[in-house]
Structure 1
Amino acid sequence: MVHEVSEGGWGPDPGGLRVSVAFSTRQVVRHEGRGGGYRNEVLSLRLGEAVGSCAVEPGTLSEEAIDDCVSADIGTLLRHALLPVRVAALDAYLMHLWPHTAVNGARTVPLASGTSLEKSRARAAAVVDLFDTAALPKGARILVVGVVNSLLEALRARSLRYVPCDLKGGTSEWGEPIVTDALAELPYCDAVLASGMTLGNGTFDALRDQTARSGRQLVMFAQTGSAVLPRFLGNGVSAVCAEPYPFFWLDGGPGVLHQYRAAAGQGAGR
């Protein structure tokens, strides 16, 4: 996709579109009542009215990398040495072409104001609702790639079993071991719930390929690549909960999410 966009195969020449603002957003959170916490860092690029984003490992994004993006054209950034920069640039380009609107296949879901935990749980419910549970076998196991405790909680509430997987390993809020090799666990699971962060760490292609070959449902929750992942609907991805910047954890006010399903979204974009 990056190559095709770079060659102008998806729309306007990316070499003629320049990033006006580049910034990073850092978060450290421990929801009230939860035993553990986590850190997030996200690179975001502004292209006109669109903002494209890609999560990075906290502390790995240099000031020089952010400086590289300001006033640079999208074509140049699609060839940047850092994968997160390339993903953020691709996301900004596709958001510029196909914003999250009904005409582009999105169903907008309001996210009510609330505490950080309330909003996290509301988002999790909107994500898990994208599974076609009628198509899952009894006692189905969901491979969760990119552990978010609110998502695990939402699966538990629906009596769906799961295998938490994250490159960091460790344990979940409920003391469950977190595996680190998604592809090794995939044969033993019936569906996959994965973070858009798989785009930024280079694991998405293999995961999508394997789920497409096996016919498993692949539901994506995406702050990273929220405009990229809907382009894969019907091509290994069955549904996407897209959440462009600003993310739910930035303030307590109301927000929106954008749901895509393969049947409704295949006509949107490429």
Structure 2
Amino acid sequence: MNPVDTRTPAPRTSAASHDGLGPHAPAASYDDLVARVLGGEFGPDPHAQRIAVAFSTRQAVRHEGRGGGYRNEVLSLRLESAVGSCAVEPGEMPDAAIEDCVGADLARLLEHELRPVRVAALDAYLMRVRPHTPANGARPWSLPAGSSLRKSRARARAVTGLVDAAPGARVLVVGVVNSLLEALRERGLSYVPCDLKGGTTEWGEPVRTDALAELAGCDAVLASGMTLGNGSFEPLREHALRHGKPLVMFAQTGSAVLPRFLGSGVSAVCAEPYPFFWLDGGPGTVHRYRTAVPGAAR
């Protein structure tokens, strides 16, 4: 993944340009959401909000009993009590980018040249103004204390339980996590594993590298929030919206961002803000969202 992106920054607009739908209206696109935040639709002016702390978290893991391992690196930005995060490919985030974020206002970071910085900044802002609470549509799901593998499997059950598909359906999994594949198998669902890194799954299955090429042959999509950071989220969302296909997001990256797309291509989100389950062995919580039912509180 190349985090450098030279796209034209989203234009600043006012909330009035969104027909008075208010901050609860689903975002029409990622750029639409950024424009609404910059326009003050969600509350505090992002030009007046400054990042106090920026940091990266690096991890390498090989669960007991598993043949392979993996590495994670996550950029996180702290805005008062809220932390926003975006995963990056290990080693690709320059140290200078972290220093550039400290003391910067949110509006500037939302237009930063590095996409992961933009995503983490948006996540931090929305974590502050739309935290994961029942009033905002979140439903907590407890994770037990225990080993990294036990917690990984518990999270996988929380995530895969949101996939609205009958046994035998084919699920495109974007961002391979072996515990998720294991949980889908337990539900009798088939899957197409896809990840930019390629390779094979724990069971020797080839991992595809082009998710968009696999969409037509799948009945549902289960995708990592990392798609926000590498630019592949919008094509997935647009496909799901156009074809009425379930799109479930599991989100350490952009955990507060992705619920804003419920009803606009995203059918459910399992949101996991910092600190993530792999950081300690104690109990934890993820927050599940489903597409709002008409008339129900969002």
TM tier relative to shorter chain? over 0.9
- Give the AA of the match of 2:214: E
- C-alpha distance in 2, partners of 1:267/1:213? 25
1:93 equivalent among 99, 117, 125 = 125
Report SS of the residue matched to 2:150: helix
Q: Which residue of 2 aligns with 1:235?
A: 264
Q: 1:132-178 CA distances to partner (integer Å, 9 max, x unpaired)?
A: 23xx4x52100000000000000011110000000111110000010
- On the 8 A contact 1:105/1:264 being kept in 2, the answer is no
2:281 equivalent among 244, 252, 258 = 252
- Normalising by structure 1, we get a TM-score of 0.96
Q: Say yes or no: does 1:14 pair with 2:46.
A: yes
- C-alpha distance in 2, partners of 1:131/1:153? 14
1:222 equivalent among 251, 258, 262 = 251
1:53 equivalent among 81, 85, 88 = 85
Say what the alpha-carbon RMSD is for the aligned residues. Answer: 1.3
> Runs in 1 of length 4+ with deviation above 6 angstroms?
none
- C-alpha distance in 1, partners of 2:149/2:138? 25
Unaligned runs of 5+ in 1: none
- Give the AA of the match of 2:186: A
- On the 8 A contact 2:42/2:129 being kept in 1, the answer is no
- C-alpha distance in 2, partners of 1:132/1:81? 37
- C-alpha distance in 2, partners of 1:264/1:132? 15
- C-alpha distance in 2, partners of 1:36/1:222? 22
Report SS of the residue matched to 2:91: coil
- Aligned residues, how many? 265
Tell me by how many angstroms 1:10 deviates: 2.9
Q: Say yes or no: does 1:117 pair with 2:146.
A: no
Q: Which residue of 1 aligns with 2:205?
A: 176
Unaligned runs of 5+ in 2: 1-32
- C-alpha distance in 1, partners of 2:204/2:240? 28
1:131 equivalent among 163, 169, 179 = 163
- C-alpha distance in 1, partners of 2:168/2:134? 34
Residues 49, 61 of structure 1: alpha-carbon distance in 2 compared, 3 angstrom cutoff: same
Tell me the percent identity: 71
Tell me by how many angstroms 1:9 deviates: 3.2
Q: Which residue of 2 aligns with 1:108?
A: 140
Report SS of the residue matched to 1:219: strand
- C-alpha distance in 1, partners of 2:198/2:164? 28
- C-alpha distance in 1, partners of 2:292/2:221? 18
- C-alpha distance in 2, partners of 1:74/1:89? 6
